[in-house]
A and B are shown apart, each in its own frame.
Chain A
Amino acid sequence: MPAVEVSRIVKTFADKVVVNDLSFSVAQGEIFGLIGPNGAGKTTTIRMMMDIIKPDSGDVTILGEKLSESTKNKLGYLPEERGLYKKLRVLDSIIYLASLKGMDRHSAEEKANQLLSQTGMLPHKGKKIEELSRGMGQIIQFIVSVIHDPELVVLDEPFAGLDPVNVELLKGMLFDLKNQGKALILSTHQMNEIEELCDRILMINHGRSVLYGNLVEIKSRYRSNSVLLEFEGEMGEVPGVAEKRTHKGYVELVLDGNTTPQQVLERLVSQRAVINRFEVATPPLNEIFLRVVSKAHE
């Protein structure tokens, strides 16, 4: 059973269709990337999954259960723009927000202490939120979004404003959650993070799905017909190669329409070339993103 199943949701604000007939699912133990240009309808989609607003039509189910008061406790959310009660102490803030997710005070405090110590924030638990740095506040909010052991966690730009040490710490915790079978949805404009963390992605534009599926498959779908090659010595003519582009440290061989990378590899091996790297060129996600968005604007 998928952790989250979003089925044909539609949301209209004042005659403007913001999310249009969107469907996707996220499996348990999966980190799922949600990408799209600004104003594409990502936040509205997230809010509908987080039961903050209701879709005009369509359904969201969590472990097969439709969203309701009782499923709210299974959701964890780290919104893009963050804030907490400035005057409240760290531990009190965490316990209050955890209690609204159905945790009792005792277990909330225990879990809060554990997560604070895991993130190195334990010495700050008595401080007021306003005394914390931006990055520290963000760690606290991450704790708030996962403390109640949710089935689905949506993280909107979770790494923005964090130092590299905390980025690694957070990534480690995300993988822990993934291994516990939680469904994680990551929404970010940092395409390298999506490539590093996500198994599958959904890209939306103008409220519709424009790319959806396994990241490796999507990338192979968008590959240009070329291979990247690092080799030693001289290379002669390779049949089937239409163009040879020399980059720093490697060459890119653009194949003609009738040749596969496998055939090129066989021909190179038969030429007895010493090959250090042979890679079917797939464009970075960033490039795919730009291509899809610019196509939509044409």
Chain B
Amino acid sequence: MNKTLLILRHEFRHTITRRGFIVMTLIVPLIVLLLIGVFHLVSGIARPTVEAMTIGYVDELGGFQQYTSQGNITLVRFDTQSGATEALVKGDIKEYFVIPPDYISAGGINRYTLEKQLAASPAITAAINNFLLGNLLAGKVPAATIARIEAPLNLVTTRLTETGDVAPEQGGYGNLIIPFVFGVLLALSIIFSSTYLLQGLADEKENRLIEILLSSVSARQLLTGKVLGMGAAGLVQVAVWVISAPLLLNLASSSVGGFVSTIRLPANFVVLAVVYFILGYLLFAVISAAIGAISSNSREGQQLIGVFTLPALIPLWFTSLLMFFPDNPVWVFFTIFPLSSPVEVIMRVGVSAIPAWQVVVSIAVLVLSIIGTLLLTIRIFRTYLLMYGKRPSIGEVIRSLRSG
């Protein structure tokens, strides 16, 4: 068998049987589940479900008798505040509020509760709001108008293409979820695979196995076999995640409901995801190999690689900014900058349309960076893989690159 394939197979097997790898592969679907839940809560699309409860009110102004049933919340009138307090202490009502005589001019409502909380829950606020609104308008406008005043805006957006037809790909949060999850996965997988590569190389360097390997195979075969072997393991990991995604989504939709059904894959997403996954992994793998070659042990290497993995994570930090300001020119920079582009492009696909030229430029820059880094790495590999002890300074590496 070809020696490159032998190394590939060995590295692949060695990686997928690592405990850390197995744990990571299994734990990520769980994190995704958590993310879906958090996303779903934060995006506010889910309707807050409130258990049936009774709250009291004291009407000192007068005229607030209708609309006492607001969804699951029932409002009970008390004649005096002391009566309401008594009912609250006994647990008959959850809380009560007082409509003061100067309500019309001042607008103040006093709320009384036994619980310590930051603010009234949105459901209770909405119930009190609609109760007051209904009673204030009762008899002055038709009931249907009152219902409309309660919720005047139900925005339904449809994206049209340039020809005026309904676009196949609509926007919205449902579009963002898969690119976001995939962006996180991409970043994780790239970082883990390249860390394994770095660790493996640094270990082999530390225990001098590298000498036996290099007396058996060429540096090029070793580098290729390792990069592809770890990449294959990374792909297996991603495959597990992708295959588990529909199962998780099903699970999620049965437990969190409506929002999950709006999740859909943006057009061309799979193609872009695969291209950027492979290119992103290659770039980081080649950088890791260079760092593995110059560092004297794996711990030192991991500190160094952090400098390079940080930019890959930047798009994840700015997710919310990206969501609200999708057209800011700063994203163009991250789209083209090779260390951040894989994750950035994947995330932007979910938020807005990326102009084709940006994708083309970013892929070109990424490919050129991979080739450039590879050429440098092969030189560094030959020079430093067999040097032990002190890690060379950046100046020394640059000097030896020039002379080598």
Contact = CB atoms under 8 A, between A and B. Distances in A.
Interface residues of B, number: 24
- Max chain A C-beta neighbours (<10 A), residue from B1, B207, B213: B207
Contacts of B218: 69
A152 to B, nearest CB: 10
A97 B208 contact: no
A79 B14 contact: no
B3 A47 contact: no
Given A85-B209, A100-B213, A52 B386 contact: yes
Interface in B68-111: none
B211 A52 contact: yes
Contacts of B7: 100
Nearest to A69: B218
A85 B386 contact: no
A84 B209 CA distance: 6
Interface in A110-142: 141
Contact of A97 (B1, B14, B216): B216
A223 interface: no
Interface in A21-50: 47, 50
Interface string A79-100: 1111111101000000011011
A72 B1 contact: no
Contacts of B212: 77, 79, 97, 141, 144-145
A79 B209 CA distance: 9
B206 A83 contact: yes
Interface in B208-250: 208-209, 211-218
A99 B209 contact: no
B227 to A, nearest CB: 17
Contacts of B6: 96, 99-100
Contacts of B399: 14
A75 interface: yes
Contact residue range for chain A? 20 to 34
Contact of B211 (A69, A77, A86, A102): A77
A14 B400 CA distance: 7
A81 B204 CA distance: 12
B10 interface: yes
Nearest to A73: B216
A51 B1 contact: no
A173 B382 CA distance: 34
Interface string B352-391: 0000000000000000000000000000001000100000
A188 B211 CA distance: 18
B171 to A, nearest CB: 49
A47 B215 CA distance: 8
A100 B213 CA distance: 8
Q: Which of A14, A69, A80, A102 has the most CB of B within 10 A?
A: A14
B400 A79 contact: no
Contacts of A101: 216
A53 interface: yes
27 contacts: A14-B400, A47-B386, A51-B214, A51-B215, A52-B211, A52-B214, A52-B215, A52-B386, A53-B382, A53-B386, A72-B216, A77-B215, A79-B208, A83-B206, A83-B207, A83-B208, A84-B207, A85-B209, A86-B207, A99-B1, A99-B6, A100-B3, A100-B217, A101-B216, A141-B212, A144-B212, A145-B212
Q: Which 7 A-B pairs give the minimum distances between C-beta atoms?
A: A83-B207, A100-B216, A50-B215, A52-B214, A79-B211, A81-B208, A77-B215
Interface of A: 14, 47, 50-53, 69, 72-73, 75, 77, 79-86, 88, 96-97, 99-102, 141, 144-145
